[in-house]
Amino acid sequence: MSQAATAAVAVEGRNLVKAFGQGNAAVRALDDVSVTIAKGEFFTLLGPSGCGKTTLLRLIAGFESPTSGEILLDGRDITALPPNRRPVNTVFQSYALFPHLTVAQNVAFGLQMLGKPKAEVSATVERMLALVKLEAFAARRTSQLSGGQQQRVALARALAPAPQVLLLDEPLSALDLKLRKEMQTELKRLQTETGITFVFVTHDQEEALTMSDRVAVMSAGQILQTGTPRQIYTRPANRFVASFIGETNFLTARISGGAAHLAGGVIPLPAGTADTASATLAIRPEHLRLAPPGTPGALTATVAHSVYFGTDSHLHLRLADGAELVARQQTSADGAAGPEPGAEVGVMIAEGAVQVLQE
Amino acid sequence: MAKRSARPFSVTDLPGFATIAILAFVALYVPILTLVAYSFNGATSVAVWGGFSLQWYVAAWDNTVVQAAAMRSLGIAACASVLATTVATMAALGTTRTAPFRGQTAIYVAINQPLMVPEIVTAVALLIFFAAIKVATGYTGLAYLVMAHTAFCIPFAYLPIRARLEGMDLSLETAAADLYASRWHTFRYVTLPLLAPGIAAGAMLAFVISLDDVVITEFVKSAGQDTLPTYMLGQMRRAITPETNAISTALLALTVLLLTAFFILTRKRD
Amino acid sequence: MTRTAEQQQKAATTRRNWALSAPALLVLALFASGPLLIVLVYSFLRPGSYSGVEWEFTTEAWQGIFLTRDIFDGTLGWADAHLSIFWRSVKLSLTTTILTFAFGFPTAWFIATRPARARAFWLFLITIPFWTNLLIRTFAINEVIRNEGLMNTVLIKLGVIAEPIRVIYTDTAVLIGMTYVYLPLMVLPLFAAIDRFDMKLLEAGYDLYASRWQVLRRVVLPIVKPGIVAGSILVFVPSLGAYVTPRVLGGGKNMMIGNFIELQFGQGRNWPLGSALAMLLLLIVMVALLVYVRAATKGAPQGGH
């Protein structure tokens, strides 16, 4: 069984530490990070800037050496290998296309460095340009291309040598919104078609959720949670993950007898929840539903104000102790306005929507 | 277990480059430092070291020929740099931050022309030209040297002034004009003060360039018009004494001083 | 015909800008560019008996650069002495350019890849010799290589050699001197080009399996080519016209074009030949500059200047 598991692993990082600077001024960009990335998966490192996600990517690429820890590629220790001897390619945030070469020459570069025969190089270049739909631009200089086209060249160039793993460092951040959406679909398609393992770095949670097979959420040099987008969204491991991905209401409550006690009422919790004097509950705004005041099982709250978004509105509610929470209300078909500010309402919570966070 | 390579891979390192670079810096500075060290030589010959002494500085200072040459060098450099900076400032105002106009490139090429012609060619040209004027007018004064120096100093004065002008915020002048300042007032109270560091930098470069010139001066000077560099060139053909080292060191110190000032002036925002 | 306000404005701008540039242009025309025309004219005249010229058109001076009349039988033959001076000048200048590049490129690379603060320091260190009097620098290298200089003194003290190595007054001395003197002229434009070079491209190169040598040859050198061309021109042009360095380090025998031109205006007393030589030197330099402009505009990756 462990045999099979090892075979399916593309990249493994073991207890990776990367410190920049010396002595007291040293900053730990990575603080004992271990990660396992499976073959053929679209794996995303998600986190705010400075969380260490790019450092981890650069360690895999070989541009930086870890202070301690190991990196394994296909079960082989590559920690000491320089980047030009790792079967890994990178799509750079700034694309880093060679300005003195044409599009085709850029794509051919890696293959030539590997010493591939001429015929194979030109065949692969043609295939790659077709893959990214840039056949017509082969002879152009890269400076004559639009941002989106440069992005495609960078992709083709990195995919051409058929790397075991493709590393993508915020490749979409320089594109405008419309192009970014297009490229998201494009990237996913390329990944499925080529079957290559993608390690994708982003600070955009929506990008991470829509494209990835699995996501690792990072903060302050550590991986806080790894899981499928669904797991990360519905079962965030802690407050940081819950707040970084999507919108979340945090409520402080006392837990006793399998229920959470709040200022506005009592919420039933899954069986076996331990008693505690103060716990943090996370509830997504879309899991709250308004009900007439006094409905059994509903919390009592007052409407503070509401913000209209078209498809839905956000109702800002206040509990008796001043705690605030937001409920997302779908706009009704008849266009009727919701409750006015100051109105008292009942708040129903969907079953299983409450997540008790470990502090 | 991972075996760690002795040195982590650095992207910007190229093999042997740092070594060659350090060697180059050593090679650049050993001769200069040797020259400086020998200027403090207590011995009468450059061949032996006779302990630390300022005697050669004293000797140079007391040498009336050196005194005259130094005064001449400084005088020519002062006149040439003032003249060159004045005309270069005007030219910079005329060719920078303006709508394209007929002849702009021609002016630019003409101003930079001394940078493109080998010094020896200019020197020969001026020798012929001035020889004719000397015959015609009988005048053999220092004006020839001043004008020759002014000409080749112009591009050196022009470049920093132009750079400063290009980096200047146009909106300040527009604002002044908006506040009813006349053209002259705008120039006098807004443009000129802002441009001052560039002008000072240009003047300094011109001064250094004039002070350093050997070739053109050697060809243009009349008898008895040696500047410090041509005096030293003459000395080098005879027996070299540490006096030449002392004069060189003094000139070197002056250059470093002016250069430091130049760096401070041009460093502005950053 | 009436002119639009826009045309009038444009004409006024042109007039104002020319007026502002006029004093500088006048000084340059009188004391830099104009006299070059006189040299051109003189190169087509007959030498005067004592010095100066006789006003008589002839191409003798130009022919005299390459050909010489045998004093005994009056036949024309190649002016070997002149040609060897030309050959020496070109050879020394090219070698100087290559040597300054060999040392200058690693130096410029080293400076450009230092952290910001250290970089300012190293840059200042290269700028000092750049602006230091050429004569002083020639004199400084003389202090090292002359027979009783630093190099020989140290080597004899160390027992490496018994007799001083006689370098001074040889072509080697001129070559060492010019390489030393012109090295900063190579480093600064190279530094400027490397400074603009996007270091991410190195990562891209290594990421795509290039070795250090391949990254240097296939990525770095083609992109910084304008800097290489600029540095080479900046070294080659003054090397070819060098006067001070060969005079101080080469002694009387190892002349370069510059010294040979001077000779015609001094002891040689052949002003037309000197003028023709000066014009030929200028011509070579102009060709080199033209090559530079073409290479720089063609080689610049982003269309640039």
Q: How far apart are CA C173 and CA A277, in angstroms?
A: 89
Select the residue from A92, A113, A143, A169 to test the C interface by mutation, using most C Cβ atoms within 10 A: A113
CA distance, residue B220 to nearest chain C CA (Å) = 11
pLDDT in tens, A66-101: 999 999 999 999 999 999 999 999 999 999 999 999
Q: Name beta bridge partners: A90.
A: A167
Tell me the domain boundaries of chain B.
62-266
0.90 surpassed by pTM: no
Through-space distance between the first and last CA atoms of chain C, rounded to whole angstroms: 39
Select the residue from A65, A94, A100, A114 to test the C interface by mutation, using most C Cβ atoms within 10 A: A100
Q: What is the bridge-based pairing of β-strands A299-308 and A265-268?
A: unpaired
Output the CA torsion sign for C92, C94, C98, C100.
Answer: positive
Element (H, E) at B255: helix B242-266
How crowded is residue B43: how many other Cβ atoms within 10 Å of its Cβ?
Answer: 15
How crowded is residue C8: how many other Cβ atoms within 10 Å of its Cβ?
Answer: 11
Closest chain B residue by Cα to residue C233: B116
Average pLDDT, chain B: 86
**Closest CB from B47, B158, B214 relative to C134:** B214
CATH class of A3-87+163-243: alpha beta
Angle at A145 (CA atoms; ends A141, A146), nearest 5 degrees? 165
Does residue B21 contact residue C112 with C-beta atoms inside 8 Å? no
Is the predicted pLDDT of residue B239 greater than 70, yes or no? no
pLDDT in tens, A7-51: 489 999 999 999 988 777 788 899 999 999 999 999 999 999 989
Buried b (16+ CB within 10 A) or exposed e, A236-269: bbbbbbbebbbebbebebebeeebbebbbbebeb
Task: Say if the Cβ atoms of A94 and C209 lie within 8 Å.
Answer: no
Q: Report the percent of chain C where pLDDT is more than 70.
A: 96
From A315, A259, A263, select the one nearest A285 (Cα to Cα).
A315
Structure tokens at A165: 């793993």
Question: What's the mean pLDDT in A283-288?
Answer: 90
From B82, B205, B79, B74, select the one nearest B146 (Cα to Cα).
B79
Size of interface A-C (CB pairs under 8 A): 67
Q: What is the bridge-based pairing of β-strands A88-91 and A76-77?
A: unpaired
Task: Tell me which CATH homologous superfamily contains domain B62-266.
Answer: MetI-like (1.10.3720.10)
CA A9 vs CA A117, A140, B21, B218, C17: distances in Å: 31, 39, 45, 78, 71
Q: What is the bridge-based pairing of β-strands A276-283 and A355-357?
A: antiparallel
CATH 1.10.3720.10 fits C87-251+284-294, yes or no: yes
Does residue A315 contact residue A306 with C-beta atoms inside 8 Å? yes
Tell me the domain boundaries of chain A.
3-87+163-243, 100-160, 248-357
Checking B47-51 for CB contacts under 8 A at 24+ apart, the result is B47/C148
**Closest CB from C28, C107, C133 relative to B255:** C133
Q: Name beta bridge partners: A282.
A: A250, A355
Q: How far apart are CA A340 and CA A328, in angstroms?
A: 15
Is the predicted pLDDT of residue B27 greater than 80, yes or no? yes
> Chain B, 9-48: which have a CB under 8 Å from a chain A CB?
9, 11
pLDDT at A97: 95
**Backbone angles phi and psi of C232, in degrees to 5:** -65, -40
Is the predicted pLDDT of residue C147 greater than 90, yes or no? no
pLDDT at A271: 75
Using left for φ > 0, alpha for ψ between -120 and 50, and beta otherwise, residue B86 falls in alpha
Q: How far apart are CA C232 and CA C236, in angstroms?
A: 6
Q: How far apart are CA B229 and CA B251, in angstroms?
A: 9
Residue type, C165: I
Average pLDDT, chain C: 88
Q: How far apart are CA C33 and CA A324, in angstroms?
A: 82
Task: Tell me which CATH homologous superfamily contains domain A248-357.
Answer: Nucleic acid-binding proteins (2.40.50.140)
Neighbouring chains of A at 3+ CB pairs within 8 Å? B, C
